[in-house]
Each structure stands twice: as structure tokens, then as C-alpha cells.
Chains A and B, each alone.
Chain A
Amino acid sequence: MSVGALDSVTTEAPTAARATWSAFRRNPLGMISLVVLALIVLVAIFAPLVVSEPQGYGGAVLRAPSGSHIFGTDNLGRDIFAEVVWGTRISVLVAAASSALAIVIGVLVAVLGAYFPKADTVIGTIVDLCLSLPVLPLMILVTALAGTSLLTEILIIAFFSWPEVARVVRSQALSAVRLPYMDAARLTGGSSTWIIRKHLLPAVAPVVIVSVALTSSRAVLTAASLAFLGLGGVTNWSWGRILFESEQSGAMSSAWWTTLFPSLAMLVLVVSATLISITYNDARNPRSRED
């Protein structure tokens, strides 16, 4: 059982973390993905320095990529490059915020369940029941009823993503509480919060890291799907909004650039996040680590 890098539980933890990192570094896929992800986040933060916010309209409507508009223009003659760059902000924000929220809820529920066996039956059942709900149709329903705004979008995605996190984390936490050192901690009279914070959370940290990558990449695609169905916010630019406007103007087949670039942006973000989590998973597992 490997233990996360966040805390020192046993004496071998720092070594394990170092071993994970050195294994990670040796995987070119992981390293490239890490760099790409960092670049995407930088673009999101410094979008105004890259290009000015796409606004208004231009005369050159639906022009193919060229020197002046490297990603072409949309049906109102706006620069798609600028839209994609500015869309990065909202798309990354939605992904980060909703997955953070989902992770917090999911981890809390899972850890509580694992630590207090009496609550676990109920919590386990609730998680299972939530997992059996059809997620995308329900999100469509709730968004249609609750209205479209950035905040509701984040809340809705988070609210329908936490059971998956809880499921994964719970099974990890359950096996962790059965480990001898947890019993030892309990016997020495540590308080529950102390044990959870010092021992249980570090034990599930690796699973959480993988969950972050998976939940946030799913959130990017979910947000785009909702936007495509006309259920996304249009006050700000997001990749989903670019795709939605392309769909509505019937430009998807005749002006490929209106969908290719936002779709590519999504692809790059999701692929790099997923590859990082896979590499990390491989790296922390001595068996699949490449030695």
C-alpha cells in the first residue's frame, strides 16, 4: 500500500513519494501532458495578454483560417482563435470548480462512511442509488428547470459527479481502515478527526488525485454537451458556447473550423489530464512502474 506524498505516515512514505515522482518523470507521456496542462492553465489565466476579448461583429463571416484569423471566423465574423483562448477560462474554471466541489463532497462522504461503520451501510446505499441515476438526462432536466448560469452549471455538474468519487474513494478508505496502524492509532486514543486527518485522508490521497483528473475532464465534456443542447451560459465565452453557436448557425459541416478548434482544445485538455492520472497511477504502483 503506497501512501500519498502529503504527509508522513510511516517512515517509508517520503521514499514512496520520491519513487512515484521519479517513475512519473521517466514517462514521457506524463511529462508532456503535465507541460500541456500547465500551458492551458496559463492561457486561461493570462488570456487578456494573449488576445483581446472577442466582441461585436466583423464583416468577414465564416472565413476559413488564414493569416489574419488563424482559426478562421464564425458566423458573426468574430475571430475563433480569440474565442477559443477566452473560452479556456470558463471551461477550465467550470472543470476545476465543479470537480473540486465533487471531490470535497465525495471524499467527505466516503471517509465518514469508512470510518464510522454504522453510517456506512446507509452511505453505501445512497451512493449506489445515486450511481444508478441516469446522469446526463437528469442534468439536462435540472438545468432546464433551474436556468442557465455559470454557478448553477458548476453546482449541477458537481452534484451529479460526487457519487462516482465517493464510490472510488470509499473502497480505498474501507481497505485503509482495516490496516493495523489505524487500529493502533485508535488504541492510543487519538481523536476521530485526528485519525481521519492524519491517517485516513493520506491513505486515500492517491485515489483522490486520480479522481480529480477524471472528474474534471468529464466536467469539460459535460459542460460542452449541455451547452451544445442550448443549456449553457452565453454571457461568457466557453468552448461549449463556440460549438453551440456553430451548431445553431448550421455551420458545422460547411465551416469545419468553427467546431474543429474548440473540439481540439477540449481534446487536448482532457487527454493531458487523463494521461497525467494514468501515468501517476502507474508510477505509484511498483508493479506497473517501469523499472
Chain B
Amino acid sequence: MPPVVRFAVRRLGRAVLTLWFASTVTFLLLRLLPGNPALAVESPNMTVQARNILLHQYGLDQPLLTQYGKYLWQLLHGNLGVSFTQQVPVSSVLLARLPWTLLLTGSSLLLTIAVGIPLGVLAATRPHRVLDRLVQVFGVGVQSLFVPTVGIFLLFVFGLQLHWLPIGGAYTPGVYGGAWYVSVLSHLVLPCVSLMLVQLGSYALTLRATLIESLGEDYTVLANAKGLPRSKVVWKHALRNALLPTTTLVGLNLGYLVGGAVLTETVFAYPGVGRGIYEAVTQLDYPVLQGAFVLLAATVVLVNMLTDLAYGVLDPRVRTA
């Protein structure tokens, strides 16, 4: 087998394994931990029989292995099942929320990189000076912010006090055409900024640390000695290497980010997947939860593949190998 094919096969195998693992863990957690979806239907008039009928309708009275077999079989056919509470296919529940999650996390990631890289470079090129210390404290500080507190603060200042930005939602209902895009953008600003703030620290600080290392490497010393302009040495040679761990960070963080934006989505009333998961948890809507975790795992797989690609571009050793 040529190495490229072997590599592709191994990657694909890993992707399938990841999806299987995520779906199985979710399946087992839902069934082995206490919790009964029939009880989650809060109705003062439901008798024990009525609740048992419901369990039967949900298929939860079957043996665990039968349920698992059915679930995997459906999954293989791309069928995520039907929501317990909404009576519609899980895929449509998730697809309605996915675009907003992608928009929010994608834009916040871009913003983080756009702000984080210059900050990291700023700090690394002046190690242990005042500016470096400021960047460090700032980076660590914003990373330690509690999202809801920041969120309400931003809404209070930029919404209520300054009237610059709207409060809550992904857009204003009843707006169409070009105005709709403006509305989407104006609703995106605050949640995007608060997600950026909490991510910024890890990017800027990782970059700072690796850049300090690579500025001490032989090739940068050599480049300096050759009389290349300092800015070129930093931005072109050293940074290129230092970006590798940052790229890994994107891979590690994005999966976390997609589901982990629950608090941001809650405070800013943003209709993303994270909030959808939280609501499915309160209703114990098993099919939606199973589907959501498969979706998140698929996102992670996808992002990791993209990170691999980025590695190839960034690291000459990987490219020639």
C-alpha cells in the first residue's frame, strides 16, 4: 500500500472509531445512569400506566443490547431517530441550530486568531518587559472571566446604555433582504466578542511561549545573523514554526467550543446547538442527545482533518514526509 493510501485509511479508521466512541458513550450514559424520560414529562395527571405506555412508545422497555443494535443500525443508515418531545426527526432539530453555532464559533475563532497572534508576537518579542507582562496578565485575566457575568455586562453597556447593539437572538424577526444580513451581524457582535475574550488567553499565551522558544532556535539566530530585518525574522520564520502548537489548539478547542458555548448562547439568547443540548437534557430527549453528540464528534473529526492539512502547509517536514 502506498504511504498516502495507508495514511488516508488510518485517518478514516480513526474518524469512524471516534464517531463510534462518542455515540456509544452517549448511548450508555443515557441508559445506565438514573433518569427516566417518561418522568420528565411533567404532568400532574399522568398515571403509572400512562408513563409505562410512554416508555414502550420510546422503545426503552427493550433489552439494552436490542436498543443498542437498533441504534447503531439506524446510525449506519444516517438515521438519527425521532425526537421524543418534538415528534420530528432529530436531524431536522439539529440542522436548524447548526448554522448559528457554526457562525458564532467560526467568527469567534477568526476574531480570536486575528487578535491573539499579534498579541502573542507583541509579548514574545519583548520577553519579561512591561508589555509582555501586560499581555500575560490580560491573556490570563480574560481567560478567567465568567461568561454570563461578562455577557450581561456587555448587553447592559452596548445594548441598554449606548443603544449600539440589540439584545438577544440571532436576528430581529420580520426583517428581510439586505437588512437581514445587517441584523444578523449586529446580533453576532456581542456573543462573538465574549467567546473571543475567553479563548484569547490560551491562543496568545501559547503563541508567546512557542515563539520565545523558536526565536532562540538556530535558524532564527542564523537569520538574524544574516542581517534579515527583525520583523521579517519574527513574522516569517519564527512565527511559522510557532504556529504549529496554535494550530493544534484550534483542533483541541473547537470541539469544546461548539458544545461549550452553552453559557454564551443562554445569556445572549443565541439559538445554537449547545443550548439545544441543554434543553434536550432537561427533557431527557434521548434521540436528540444521541444525535447531538454524534454531530459534535463529527465536528471534531472534521476539524482535526483540517488541522492536519494546516500542519502540512505550515511544517515543511510533514509536507515532504
A–B contact (CB under 8 angstroms)? yes
Instruction: Decide yes or no whether A216 CB sits under 8 A from chain B.
Output: no
B239 at interface, CB cutoff 8 A: no
Evaluate contact between A270 and B149: CB separation under 8 angstroms. Answer: no
Give the chain B neighbours of A147 by CB distance below 8 A.
34
Interface string of A115-151 (1 = CB under 8 A from B): 0000000000100110111111110111011110000
In the bound complex, CA of A151 to CA of B221 (Å): 53
B146 at interface (Cβ–Cβ under 8 A)?
Answer: yes
Question: What is the size, in residues, of chain B's interface with A at 8 Å between Cβ atoms?
Answer: 58
Give the A interface residue count (CB, 8 A): 45
Give the Cβ gap from A68 to chain B, nearest Cβ, in Å. Answer: 25
Known interface pairs A136-B260, A145-B35, A278-B140; A252-B29 also in contact (CB < 8 Å): no
In Å, the complex CA distance between A141 and B256 comes to 15
Query: Which of chain B's residues have a CB closer than 8 A to the CB of A287?
Result: 212-213, 216
Asked if residues A142 and B213 are in contact (CB atoms below 8 Å), the reply is: no
Is A165 on the interface with B (CB-CB < 8 A)?
Answer: no
- Given A129-B18, A145-B33, A145-B34, A136:B262 Cβ within 8 A: yes
User: Which of B18, B212, B296 sits near A288, CB closer than 8 Å?
Assistant: B212
Chain B residue with minimal CB distance to A126?
A: B21
Residues 227-256 of chain A, each 1 if its beta carbon lies under 8 Å from chain B, else 0:
011000000000000010001000011001
Residue in A146, A221, A247 whose CB lies within 8 Å of B34: A146
Residue of B nearest to A26 (CB): B128
Inter-chain contact A221/B146, CB cutoff 8 Å = yes
Among B29, B141, B152, B256, the residue within 8 A (CB) of A253 is B152
* Whole-angstrom CA separation of A260 from B153 in the bound complex: 10
Q: For chain B residues 268-301, which have a beta carbon within 8 Å of chain A?
A: 274, 277-278, 281-282, 289, 292-293, 296-297, 300-301
Q: Is the CB of B22 within 8 A of A247?
A: no
Docked CA distance A139–B82 (Å) = 24
Cβ contacts under 8 Å, A288 to chain B: 127, 209, 212-213
Segment 151-206 of B: residues with Cβ below 8 Å from A: 152-153, 155-156, 160, 205
Indicate if the CB atoms of A137 and B292 lie closer than 8 Å.
yes
Contact B145 A144 (CB under 8 A): no
Is residue A2 contacting chain B, with contact meaning CB distance below 8 A?
A: no
B95 at the interface (CB under 8 A from A): no
Closest to A225 in B: B263
Interface residue A266 (Cβ < 8 Å from any Cβ of B): yes
A247 and B148 within 8 A (CB): yes
Asked if B136 contacts A278 (CB within 8 A), the reply is yes
CB pairs A–B below 8 angstroms (11 shown)? A132-B301, A133-B22, A134-B260, A144-B35, A145-B35, A224-B146, A247-B148, A259-B148, A274-B140, A275-B136, A278-B136
A91: min CB distance to chain B, Å? 12
* Cβ contacts under 8 Å, A271 to chain B: 137, 140-141, 144
The docked-state distance in angstroms from the alpha carbon of A94 to that of B167 is 34
Known: A132-B18, A142-B29, A288-B212. A267 touches B297 (CB 8 A): no
Interface centre among A132, A140, A290 (most CB of B within 10 A): A132
Q: A133-B22, A260-B149 are in contact. Are A140 and B281 (CB under 8 A)?
A: yes
B34-A267 in contact (CB<8A) = no
B residues in contact with A136, CB < 8 Å: 256, 259-260, 262, 274
The reply to whether B144 and A221 form a contact with Cβ atoms under 8 Å apart is: yes
Complex Cα distance, B205 from A142, in Å, reads: 32
Inter-chain contact A274/B148, CB cutoff 8 Å: no
Smallest CB separation, B246 vs chain A (Å): 16
A153 to chain B, nearest CB (A): 15
**Chain B residue at minimum C-beta to C-beta distance from A231:** B281
